[in-house]
Structure 1
Amino acid sequence: MEPLLFPGNPSFWYETLRSFGHIAYGGADFGEVVTTCERIIPGDYDSWHDAWLATADSVAGKGRAALEGGHRVSARDAFLRASNYYRSAEFFLHGDPADPRIRHAYDASVACFREAAALFTPAVEPVEIPYEGTVLPGYLYRADDSGTARPTVVMFNGFDGTVEEMHFFGAAAAAERGHTVLAFDGPGQPGTRHRQGLGFRPDWEKVVGPVIDHAVTRPEVDPSRVALLGASMGGLLAPRAAAFDDRVAALVCLDGVYDLGDIATAGIPLPRAEAERRLRADHDPELDAMLAEAMAGSPMLRWAVEHGMFALNVTTPRAFGAAYLDYHLRDGVAEKISCPTLVCAGADDGFFRGQPEQLYEHLTCPRTLLGFTAGQGADAHCQSGAQRLAFARVYDWLDDALTRRAPALRAAP
């Protein structure tokens, strides 16, 4: 899809498209997004923050006024949009983790989402999942108040998204189809990174295991029909977990990722083995300078490295690249997955192009590669901008998989 706004700045355009996509499940309104973007100076992170914060404050204020007036649906809708706008406001600020604007906007995003969550019927329940001496924040969605055990989707976001954003990236769509949903933030994701200082870890089965342990204690969860869905970088973390946990009855990779080492070494003009060696070296000022120059010349790379340093809890661009090398499904990991697996692939994914196909080729389980195209308006990363289309296809597949009717095929776009 050609940029409608911010031509020449793929980072700003994709984040705008992300909010356009969230319109489908109540996370934005078209006019609010457009008028906000009109106030932004392209490429200026401070301008981006200020414009989105102003919109978020305005919409949150409307939500509070509606709630005080007894207008619960209007309040819920406003709080949902404000939550997403606050999330967007702090998105590009992680180059300075001490910037107080980050926590202000993040905390406001969570607060607004929880205001909205309480106004759904049934209410979306905030949960705390025990994990290695602390807790993972999350939300439980019920299809109704009967307490009936139902097919369940355990889901999480990726490199930069929040558990609150998963409402728009799969939770609402699953709940309206009658599934129970347990969404959570793992280590390195915003809920734990901001509040407990936890960075990402590659052995994600150690994260998902405690989450499924918690899920199967809930009466709304059918333990024999627990699916796992990971969005963005979650498209690598979810299959990693499924490879080592046979309680996962079906797996959705939105989109699929096989080896982040490919991403870490792609811009280094050296054979991969040499690039890896130099990324892991104790001291390499020449490579440090090369990375700094590349970041200065690419807004997308600058954001990815700055956020990656924040999310993985490292202090230099080279240390981020070195840490990223550990995130992969090589060495037979993908081949360990036994449950039916859906691998989604956007034809113009600006982050992980080619990765879904790599993952698909290494799977030995019942597998489906589901392509999305520009003609569908769904070719972007995680099908942003086409959520209704994408989740219709994803959950139709999942419904079949959880009744053991999933075909093993390469799906036409």
Structure 2
Amino acid sequence: MQQLLFPNNIQFWYETLRSMSHIAYGGADFGEVVSTAERITEGDYDSWYIEWAATADRVAAEAEKALKASHKVSARDGFLRASNYYRSAEFFLHGKQCDPRHDHAYDRSVECFKTAAALYTTPRIEPVEIPYENTTLPGYLYRVDDSGTPRPTLIMHNGFDGTAEEMHFFGAVAAVERGYNVLLFDGPGMPGPRHHQGLVFRPDWENVITPVVDFTENIPEIDNNRIALLGLSMGGILAPRAAAFEHRLAAVIAVDGLYDLGQVSVRHLPGTRQEAEQLLRGETAPELDAALEQLMAKDPISRWAFNHGMYVMGVDTPRAFNASYLDYTLADGIAEKIQCPTLVCDAVEDMFFKGQPEQLYDHLTCPKTLMVFTTEEGAGAHCHPGAMRLATARIYDWLDDTLDVTATTA
């Protein structure tokens, strides 16, 4: 898709398009996004934070005013947009040494979202704490209604850099409209647990999903035979990994599908895959360390990815971050262990993981579907920002058919 804003910085354009995509379910307004983007200095992370935070503060203040005047719908809508704008504001601030502004903006994003959630009557949105090891994971339970009827349920989580709150706009509301209860949550490495508990990502995601499924099965309104899992972005490898070992799932959806993150780490390194891995995991590799630092200096996408990656993986160097990616793989027979029907989504213009959805699909031995989204549809970018209505329609039509939901909920 043509870069309508930030013509010389695809990273800023993609994140702007991401905010625009949430317009479909109340997470932004077009004029607010465009006016904010026009004030930002291209490539300047401080400018990005300042302008998005200013928009978020203004929208949140207007929502507060509406709430005090008992205009609850207007307040709810304003808090939803403010939540998303605060999320966007802190996006580029993560790193080994995080900018202190990111904690403030993240907490404001969550605060605004929880205020909006409390103003909903349909669906009912309840903040929850999911037992996990010696702590809990934050999340939100969406109930279709208060009838107590057991319904098919979709567990959803984000990926490398997104929040549980963002998933409200990226499929939760659309699922509820179709008769699904929804459980959103942040796992280790995702914003809530990383900000407040110091939990970092782990590759054995089944040890995250199993307690989440345990929690879900104890909710009376859940049809335990029809619990599906959707993972977004990096969630496109985490969710299939969990499904390979957690066989209570009735379906899994990877938006978009990933097969082996290690391919990203080794693709520019010399020698064989084994030699590249040894170099990444070695005690010392000064030439590689210098090359990665140079890459960060000249490539803004790598600079952000490495800094954010060190933060969410809990490591101290760009090389250690790249080495951590080697453990996130569905190779060596893991993909073949998935038993439930699996939907693998693909974006023809994916600038991060092109070709990996097909790899995952080819290795699956379960009932499987590859769903390709194109540029002509406005859906060709990674995870299909800008085409939320189209993407959710196709994905949930597949899930309806797979779980036979239409016959039960119509």
What is the TM-score normalised by the length of structure 2? 0.97
Q: What SS does the corresponding residue of 1:140 show, helix, strand or coil? A: strand
**Who is 1:409 aligned against?**
none
Question: Does structure 1 residue 148 correspond to structure 2 residue 168?
Answer: no
Structure 1 Cα separation of the partners of residues 126 and 352 of structure 2: 33
| 3-state DSSP of counterpart to 1:162 | coil
Q: Take 2:394 and 2:280, find their aligned partners in 1: how far apart are those partners?
A: 40
How far apart are the structure 2 equivalents of 1:360 and 1:328?
14
1:325 aligns with 2:326: yes
CA distance in 2, matches of 1:404, 1:149: 12
1:349-395 per-position Cα deviation (integer Å, ceiling 9, x unaligned): 11111110000000001100000001000001101110000000000
Look up the match of 1:393. 394
Letter in 2 for 1:52: W
Distance 2:254 2:118 in 1: 29
Deviations 1:309-336 (A, max 9, x none): 0000101000001111000000100000
Match of 1:294 in 2: 295
* Structure 2 SS opposite 1:153: strand
Quote the offset at 1:404 in angstroms: 9.0
Alignment partners' CA distance in 2, 1:267 and 1:292: 14
**Structure 2 Cα separation of the partners of residues 271 and 61 of structure 1:** 56
**Which whole-Å CA distance do the structure 2 matches of 1:200 and 1:277 have between them?**
22
SS of the residue corresponding to residue 229 of structure 2 reads strand
**Aligned-partner Cα distance in 2 for 1:258–1:103:** 32
2:268 counterpart SS class: coil
Matches within 5 A, 1:183-198: 183-198=184-199
SS at match of 2:59: helix
Query: Which residue is equivalent to 1:368?
Result: 369
**Structure-2 change in CA distance of 1:289 and 1:276 (3 Å):** same
Q: Determine if the alignment matches structure 1 residue 93 to structure 2 residue 93.
A: yes
Are the aligned partners of 2:158 and 2:164 in contact in 1 as well (CA < 8 Å)? yes
Q: How far apart are residue 128 of structure 1 and its match? A: 0.1
Partners of 2:323 and 2:96 in 1: CA distance: 20
Provide the C-alpha distance between the structure 2 equivalents of 1:404 and 1:334, rounded to a whole number of angstroms.
26
Q: Find the aligned partners of 1:345 and 1:106 in 2 and give their Cα distance.
A: 30
Question: SS state of the match for residue 183, structure 2?
Answer: strand
Q: Does 1:243 align with 2:244?
A: yes
Q: Could you tell me which residue of structure 2 aligns to residue 66 of structure 1?
A: 66
The residue aligned with 1:10 is: 10
Distance (whole Å) between structure 2 residues aligned to residue 235 and residue 87 of structure 1: 21
Q: What whole-Å deviation, never above 9, does each CA across 1:250-299 have from its counterpart, x for those lacking one?
A: 11100000000011112324432221110000111100001111111111
Q: 1:93-113: CA deviations, max 9, x gaps? A: 112544210100000000000
Cα offset for 1:203?
A: 0.1
Amino acid at match of 2:217: V
Once the two structures are superposed, the pairs formed by residues 14-29 of structure 1 within 5 Å of their partners are 14-29=14-29
> For 2:83 and 2:152, how far apart are their aligned partners in 1?
28
State how far apart, in whole Å, the 1-side matches of 2:405 and 2:344 are. Answer: 17
**Aligned-residue offset at 1:120:** 1.1
| Distance in 2 between residues matched to 1:300 and 1:268, nearest whole Å | 18
Residues of 2 paired with 1:33 and 1:275: CA distance?
Answer: 42
Give distance in 1, aligned partners of 2:108 and 2:405: 42
Per-residue CA deviations over 1:72-131 (Å, capped at 9, x if unaligned) read 111110000000000000000112544210100000000000011011113310000000
Figure out how many residues of one structure are paired with residues of the other and give that number: 405
Q: What is the correspondence of 1:118-157 to structure 2 with a 5 Å cutoff?
A: 118-122=118-122, 123-157=124-158
The residue identity in structure 2 corresponding to 1:81 is R
CA distance in 2, matches of 1:305, 1:170: 28
Aligned residue number for residue 274 of structure 1: 275
**Could you tell me the TM-score, scaled by structure 1's length?**
0.97
**What residue in structure 2 maps to residue 408 of structure 1?**
none
- Counterpart-to-counterpart distance in 1, 2:190 and 2:309: 11
Partner secondary structure for residue 137 of structure 2: strand
Counterpart for residue 209 of structure 2: 208
Q: Deviations over 1:148-190 (max 9, x none)?
A: 1100000100000000001011111101111000010000000
TM superposition shift of 1:219: 1.0
Aligned pair in 2 of structure 1 residues 98, 383: CA closer, same or farther (>3 Å)? Answer: closer
Structure 2 gaps of 5+ residues are: none
Distance across 2 between alignment mates of 1:98 and 1:371: 37
Task: Provide the secondary structure at the position in 1 that maps to 2:39.
Answer: coil
User: Which residue in 2 is equivalent to 1:182?
Assistant: 183
Q: In structure 2, do the counterparts of structure 1 residues 134 and 74 end up closer, same or farther at CA, with 3 Å as the change threshold?
A: same
CA distance in 2, matches of 1:394, 1:140: 20
For 1:113 and 1:270, locate their aligned partners in 2 and report how far apart those are by CA, in whole Å.
Answer: 48
Distance between the aligned counterparts of 2:136 and 2:320, measured in 1?
Answer: 27
Alignment of 1:150-165 (within 5 A): 150-165=151-166
C-alpha contact 2:95 2:309 (8 A) present in aligned 1 = no
Query: What letter matches 1:166 in structure 2?
Result: M
SS state of the match for residue 135, structure 1? strand
In structure 2, the partner of 1:285 is 286
1:79 correspondence with 2:79: yes
Q: What amino acid is aligned across from residue 80 of structure 1 in structure 2?
A: L
Cα RMSD, aligned residues only? 1.1
Contact 2:150 2:221 survives alignment (8 Å): yes
What residue identity is the alignment partner of 2:100?
A: P
2:173 maps to 1:169: no
Amino acid corresponding to residue 39 of structure 1 in structure 2: R
Amino acid at match of 2:399: L
Secondary structure of the corresponding residue to residue 79 of structure 2: helix
Q: Distance in 2 between matches of 1:66 and 1:236?
A: 42
SS of 2:140's equivalent in the other structure is strand
Q: CA deviation at 1:212?
A: 0.4
Match of 1:70, as an amino acid?
S
Q: Distance in 2 between matches of 1:362 and 1:263?
A: 19
In the other structure, the counterpart of 1:334 is 335
Name the stretch that deviates more: 362-371 or 272-281: 272-281
